[in-house]
Structure 1
Amino acid sequence: MINRYHPLKTCYSENPVMVIDTNASHSDLLDAADQRLRAASDLLETLYCLCFKQADVKDIPNIVNALYLLVQDGCDLLEVAKQRPAQPAYS
């Protein structure tokens, strides 16, 4: 039996406050994953287009942390969505 609330891997405490509701609809889980993965992709695209000579070295850990949170949360959401069958479409 799957627990209703699945903690995100990005939670650092023993009592997670950020969780995924495994009872959420399949499409809602996929939408949330898509939102986070697209945000990470957009950030990476922006960074790719910037000149790093203008960047401050102290910003790199902040950028990496933001990307890690977005990608890991998106992957966690996809994992939960894969465990839930998609609802059949009705015509």
Structure 2
Amino acid sequence: MKSWNELHSDRYRPVDSNLTDTKPLVIDTDANPQDILECAVQRLRASSDLLQTLYCLCFKHADVEDIPHITHVLYLLTKDGCDLLQVAQQKMLSWKAPA
């Protein structure tokens, strides 16, 4: 008998930003490609907006611990967004219009 992971390995793709062995965060590759794309855009836009804010800020009063916190957030948003874009691209390239 196949395990749950074997049955769903093609449908549920783990995001690369997972740092655990069990990969709890996944992308449903059967979801509507437009919805997957919108999720990607949302994460990449949030990452871009944060970078723009940081570019405009003065760091005179920033704590040295802020830098790793900010880079971690940017990494997670950007990596998840890129993973989602890759799935959306694969789905859209193989998508065929209904006859």
State the 4+ residue runs in structure 1 displaced beyond 4 angstroms.
86-89
Output aligned runs, 1:59-74, within 5 Å.
59-74=66-81
CA distance in 2: counterparts of 1:87 and 1:52, whole angstroms? 50
Which structure is larger by alpha-carbon Rg, 1 or 2?
2
Measured at CA, do residues 87 and 35 of structure 1 come closer, stay the same or move farther in structure 2, by a change above 3 Å?
farther
CA RMSD after TM alignment? 1.6
The question of whether the paired residues in 2 share the 8 Å contact of 1:6 and 1:22 is answered with: yes
Match of 2:60 in 1: 53
CA distance in 2: counterparts of 1:84 and 1:73, whole angstroms? 17
Match of 2:34 in 1: 27
Residue 76 in structure 1 maps to residue 60 in structure 2: no
Stretches of structure 1 that go unaligned for 5 or more consecutive residues are: none
Q: AA paired with 2:77?
A: L
TM-score by length of 2: 0.83
Question: How many corresponding residue pairs?
Answer: 88
The question of whether the paired residues in 2 share the 8 Å contact of 1:26 and 1:87 is answered with: no
Q: AA paired with 1:20?
A: I
Stretches of structure 2 that go unaligned for 5 or more consecutive residues are: 1-8
Measured at CA, do residues 88 and 49 of structure 1 come closer, stay the same or move farther in structure 2, by a change above 3 Å?
farther
Measured at CA, do residues 61 and 29 of structure 1 come closer, stay the same or move farther in structure 2, by a change above 3 Å?
same
TM-score by length of 1: 0.90
Write the deviation string for residues 7-27 of structure 1: whole angstroms up to 9, x where unpaired. Answer: 000001111110000001110
Q: AA paired with 1:60?
A: I
Q: Report sequence identity in percent.
A: 55
